[in-house]
Amino acid sequence: MTEKSKLRIQQVRSLIGSTPGQRETLRSLGLRRIRAVVEREDSPAVRGAVKKIQHLVRIVEDER
């Protein structure tokens, strides 16, 4: 069985001053507060969401 790759996404900036669309994108990824980290499947949809809010989040490298 093949293991699907995962993205670890961390919120690094506040939602204050962001547009409603950016707020919804963060919420859809499951991010609610600064320094929160979520793990999502690496898919084009998730990559597009991250690109839309790239100034608010960063991709966290695995320590493995």
Q: What is the CATH number of the domain that holds 21?
A: 3.30.1390.20
Q: What is the pLDDT of residue 23?
A: 97
What distance in Å separates the CA atoms of residue 24 and residue 44, rounded to the nearest whole number?
18
Flag whether 56 is in a domain. yes
Q: What is the pLDDT of residue 4?
A: 81
* Sole residue written with tokens 């998730």: 46
**What is the pLDDT confidence band of residue 2, given thresholds at 50, 70 and 90?**
low
pTM of the model: 0.85
| Whether 24 contacts 55, CB under 8 Å | no
Mean pLDDT, the chain, integer: 92
Number of domains the chain contains = 1
Mean pLDDT of 5-15: 95
Q: Which domain holds residue 54?
A: 6-60
Flag whether 1 is in a domain. no
